[in-house]
């Protein structure tokens, strides 16, 4: 519920919120860093341990299996132990995983520590934004949802830069993994200094502590009234898993899971995790140059995410989905075509780099931020937690399947076939968005819920119907 009559929060409160958001956003940075770092590290691990396609895939996807497990557990853990404690333990796991992977003497040990990091990522990808949203005043909440995606892309770039700086020696992959411990340790210390979410405190009848936190966040406002409002929203009893399947909720459920599928099955992480490998397919000979080209891809990802944040509330979600997914389909088509045309051999490198850049730019203005945004918008309050964690699990599950099958797919269908397959999925995704995805721009969350309850076709909800 928005409280438009409230004065903008004062500077001391602003500092508190920004500090809180910056520290919690380190979890997003770690998500990006620890998923991106593998792209460079895998080149060296592959050489050092003489790995084949299957073993490479296992090393790359260990983190993702962990993330599925972490995302599935996250709702229950965050409700039972509190958001802050869960993030602290998660950050400790990040640090242990990073150091463990750095010192691993064999492939099973690398896989085990990367699995541990994965559990941390899965928990963090749900709990950190939840914590930020619960501690933020309403007028700052929307921007912070997309800040999470921005931090993920920044983490990916940092990992690429580290990969680039360290791509000289055979054993440098150890440093690539190990450096992830630094933001993790800062996150532990930072979260120890921060307060628990006031909403969670009230839910555990710890009103006095909640009062103290709220006094920081909402200075000069009626804290008793705020606590009563939180209590009021808590009496909306959380829905059961069964309610998630009620017919009127189904369209929203399908949109969340389908967008998770399309975000992953259009191949984004084959680029994020394997970009240097793809550049080597295209004829780049040195690991260093391939990783440098990958840094460029990461920077474009960050910049275009900023562009998306600017346009999301102006143009709307659906136009950005159409533009971005059309761009993704075309660039995947060209990428496949380039790999399929021997006569292009001399220009293959250039065409590959250009189409990968066009692809990532298109993703960053569409499916990248919009998946995470829409799953925070479309679910009825009563089942929001469960539905969001289900969509998060679906996202990590699809991510894992794509990462675990990419190299096999290129072996079976050829490189061109693999990219065309992702392009065809993307084309189907555009049609799905047209028919089923609602335009949430300008609507209040209550508005979206009322529309969903009305039983009208969800995909017909248009931005022009937005509450004035
Ligand atoms: C996706 C990740 C992806 C990242 C790339 C996120 O929205 O969930 O799977 O690696 O974007 O920027």
Domain spans, the chain: 9-194, 239-468
- Which residue from 37, 272, 399 has its CB within 8 A of the most atoms of ligand 1, so it is best to mutate? 272
- Which residue from 27, 147, 151, 269 has its CB within 8 A of the most atoms of ligand 1, so it is best to mutate? 269
The angle subtended at Cα 86 by Cα 115 and Cα 384, nearest 5°, is: 95
Q: How far does residue 151's CA lie from ligand 1's centre (Å)?
A: 11
Nearest-CA residue for atom 1 of ligand 1: 368
On the question of a common fold for 9-194 and 239-468, the answer reads yes
CATH fold for domain 9-194: Growth Hormone; Chain: A; (1.20.1250)
Superfamily of domain 239-468: MFS general substrate transporter like domains (1.20.1250.20)
- Picking from 282, 419, 276, the residue whose alpha carbon sits closest to that of residue 347 is 282
Other beta carbons within 10 Å of 73: 17
C-beta of residue 126 within 8 angstroms of C-beta of residue 78 = yes
Is the shortest distance between the CB of 268 and ligand 1 below 6 Å? yes
Gap between the terminal Cα atoms of the chain: 16
What predicted TM-score, i.e. pTM, was given to this entire model? 0.85
- Which residue from 27, 63, 126, 149 has its CB within 8 A of the most atoms of ligand 1, so it is best to mutate? 149
Is the shortest distance between the CB of 367 and ligand 1 below 6 Å? no
Alpha-carbon distances, residue 5 vs 1, 230, 445 (angstroms): 12, 18, 18
- What tens-digit pLDDT sequence spans the chain (468 residues)? 444 444 454 677 777 777 888 888 888 999 999 998 988 888 889 989 999 888 888 898 899 999 999 999 887 888 888 889 999 999 999 999 999 999 999 999 999 999 999 999 999 888 887 787 777 765 555 567 777 889 999 999 999 898 888 877 788 899 999 999 999 999 999 989 888 888 888 888 898 998 888 888 777 778 888 788 777 766 666 667 777 888 999 999 999 999 999 999 999 999 887 888 888 888 888 878 888 888 999 999 999 999 998 888 888 899 999 999 999 999 999 999 988 887 777 788 889 899 999 999 999 999 999 998 888 889 887 787 778 889 999 999 999 999 878 888 989 999 899 999 999 999 999 999 999 999 988 887 778 889 999 999 999 998 654 433
Is the shortest distance between the CB of 301 and ligand 1 below 6 Å? yes
Is the shortest distance between the CB of 362 and ligand 1 below 6 Å? no
């Amino acid at each position: 519920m928005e409280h438009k009559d409230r004065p903008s929060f004062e500077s001391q409160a602003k500092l508190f919120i920004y500090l809180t958001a910056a520290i919690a956003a380190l979890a997003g940075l770690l998500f990006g860093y620890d998923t991106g770092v593998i792209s460079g590290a895998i080149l060296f691990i592959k050489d050092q341990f003489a790995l084949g396609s299957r073993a490479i895939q296992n090393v790359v996807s260990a983190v993702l299996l962990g993330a599925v497990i972490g995302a599935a557990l996250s709702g229950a853990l965050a409700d039972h132990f509190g958001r802050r404690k869960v993030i602290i333990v998660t950050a400790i796991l990040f640090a242990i995983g990073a150091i463990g992977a750095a010192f691993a003497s064999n492939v099973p040990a690398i896989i085990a520590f990367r699995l541990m990091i994965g559990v941390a990522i899965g928990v963090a990808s749900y709990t950190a934004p939840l914590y930020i949203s619960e501690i933020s005043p309403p007028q700052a909440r929307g921007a912070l949802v997309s800040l999470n995606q921005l931090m993920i892309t920044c983490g990916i770039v940092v990992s690429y830069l580290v990969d680039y700086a360290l791509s000289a020696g055979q054993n440098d992959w150890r440093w690539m993994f190990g450096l992830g411990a630094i933001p993790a340790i800062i996150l532990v210390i930072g979260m120890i200094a921060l307060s628990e979410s006031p909403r969670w405190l009230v839910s555990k009848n710890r009103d006095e502590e909640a009062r103290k936190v709220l006094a920081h966040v909402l200075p000069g406002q009626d804290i008793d009234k705020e606590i009563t409002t939180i209590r009021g929203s808590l009496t909306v009893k959380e829905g059961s898993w069964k309610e998630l399947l009620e017919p009127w909720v189904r369209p929203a459920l399908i949109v969340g899971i389908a967008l998770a599928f399309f975000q992953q099955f259009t191949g984004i992480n084959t680029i994020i995790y394997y970009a240097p490998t793809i550049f080597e397919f295209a004829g780049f000979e040195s690991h260093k140059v391939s990783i440098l080209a990958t840094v460029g891809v990461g920077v474009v990802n960050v910049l275009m995410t900023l562009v998306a944040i600017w346009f999301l509330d102006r143009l709307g979600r659906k136009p950005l989905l159409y533009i971005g997914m059309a761009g993704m389909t075309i660039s995947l088509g060209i990428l496949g075509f380039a790999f399929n045309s021997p006569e292009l051999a001399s220009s293959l490198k250039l065409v590959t780099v250009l189409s990968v850049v066009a692809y990532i730019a298109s993703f960053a203005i569409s499916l990248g931020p919009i998946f995470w945004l829409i799953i925070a918008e479309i679910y009825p309050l009563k089942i929001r937690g469960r539905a969001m964690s289900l969509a998060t699990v679906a996202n990590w599950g699809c991510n894992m399947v794509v990462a675990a099958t990419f190299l096999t797919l290129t072996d079976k269908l050829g490189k061109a076939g693999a990219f065309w397959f992702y392009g065809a999925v993307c084309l189907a995704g555009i049609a799905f968005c047209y028919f089923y995805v609602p335009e949430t721009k300008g609507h209040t969350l209550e508005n979206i819920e009322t529309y969903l309850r009305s039983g009208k076709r969800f995909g017909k909800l248009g931005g022009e119907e937005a509450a004035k």
